[in-house]
């Protein structure tokens, strides 16, 4: 995952241990594949959980994973869109990155490069295009380049996702979604498991920042 919060690491690691509900299931993928466009002959591991006012779903197989998380907040729509889209906010909830660089911009889009260090020696540098679709109350993002410093690590072939903001319960629901497709690699399982933990942590950091900034 391309975002996480280092300053909240100790708090978040502890918080993961108090998940109220986690359901693991092994399912044949007819229903999931119809949504995610995956091979129906495969089966998928599905984990669902709730944590500190958020809920999430993590789906994986041997070459794919996705994360979907959401929370509800009472806030102004413009603030939610600005916090989610504008570059100056990203470092506040992506502080686990070694570096975050603004690359270029156009009308309602810009490119940003993240460098992350994972599993002690693994470093990844990836560039993403973030696009604001204000009429849809949505920010979409897609990876446009990706490079690992060690070849034994699984390569992310493609990744994309979105933030979707919708009216709900007198406020707004904020949904974050990301999917990744991988090449096989020596540390693939460790990589996917780490991605799941980081996605759960990110959702908590992001929610806290949005509440502090917009609530």
* Per-residue pLDDT of the chain in tens (215 residues, 90 and over written 9): 444 344 443 333 333 323 333 333 443 344 444 444 555 555 789 999 999 999 999 999 888 999 999 999 999 999 999 999 999 999 899 867 889 999 999 999 999 999 988 767 788 899 999 999 999 999 999 999 999 887 777 889 999 999 999 999 889 999 999 999 998 767 788 888 889 999 999 999 999 999 999 98
- Domain chopping of the chain, boundaries: 9-214
CA 103 – CA 80 distance, rounded (Å): 23
> β-strand 156-168 against 171-182: which pairing, if any?
antiparallel
Chain centroid, CA 72 distance in Å: 17
Which are the contacts of 173, defined by CB distance < 8 A and separation ≥ 6? Answer: 70, 71, 72, 165, 166, 167
pLDDT for the residue 40: 53
What distances in angstroms separate CA 133 from CA 16, 77, 82, 110, one per listed residue? 32, 13, 12, 13
Dihedrals φ, ψ of 92, to 5°? -75, -30
CA 90 – CA 107 distance, rounded (Å): 19
CA 48 – CA 46 distance, rounded (Å): 7
Class for domain 9-214, per CATH?
alpha beta
Residues linked to residue 159 through DSSP beta bridges, in sequence order:
180
What distances in angstroms separate CA 124 from CA 11, 32, 52, 87, 97, one per listed residue? 25, 29, 30, 20, 10
b/e code 77-110 from CB counts within 10 Å (16+ = b): eeebbebbbeeeebebbbbbbeebeeeeeeeebb
pLDDT for the residue 119: 63
Which are the contacts of 80, defined by CB distance < 8 A and separation ≥ 6? Answer: 73, 165, 172, 174, 210, 214
CA 198 – CA 8 distance, rounded (Å): 12
CA 26 – CA 45 distance, rounded (Å): 5
pLDDT for the residue 129: 98
pLDDT for the residue 39: 54
């Amino acid at each position: 995952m391309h975002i996480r919060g280092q300053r909240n690491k100790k708090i978040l690691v502890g918080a993961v241990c108090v998940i109220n509900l986690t359901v693991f299931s092994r399912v044949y993928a007819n229903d999931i594949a119809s949504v995610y466009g995956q091979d129906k002959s495969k089966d998928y591991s599905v984990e669902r959980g709730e944590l500190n006012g958020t809920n999430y779903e993590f789906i994986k197989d041997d070459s794919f994973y996705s994360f979907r998380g959401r929370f509800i907040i009472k806030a102004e729509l413009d603030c939610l869109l600005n916090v989610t889209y504008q570059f100056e906010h990203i470092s506040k909830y992506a502080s686990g990155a070694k570096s975050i660089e603004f690359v270029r911009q156009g009308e309602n889009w810009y490119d940003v490069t993240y460098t992350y260090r994972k599993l002690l020696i693994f470093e990844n540098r990836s560039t993403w295009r973030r696009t604001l679709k204000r009429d849809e109350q949505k920010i979409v993002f897609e990876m446009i380049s990706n490079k690992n410093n060690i070849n034994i690590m699984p390569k992310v072939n493609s990744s994309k996702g979105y933030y979707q903001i919708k009216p709900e319960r007198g406020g707004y629901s904020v949904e974050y979604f990301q999917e990744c497709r991988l090449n096989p690699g020596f540390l693939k399982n460790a990589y996917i498991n780490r991605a799941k933990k980081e996605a759960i942590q990110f959702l908590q950091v992001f929610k806290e920042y949005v509440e502090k900034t917009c609530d």
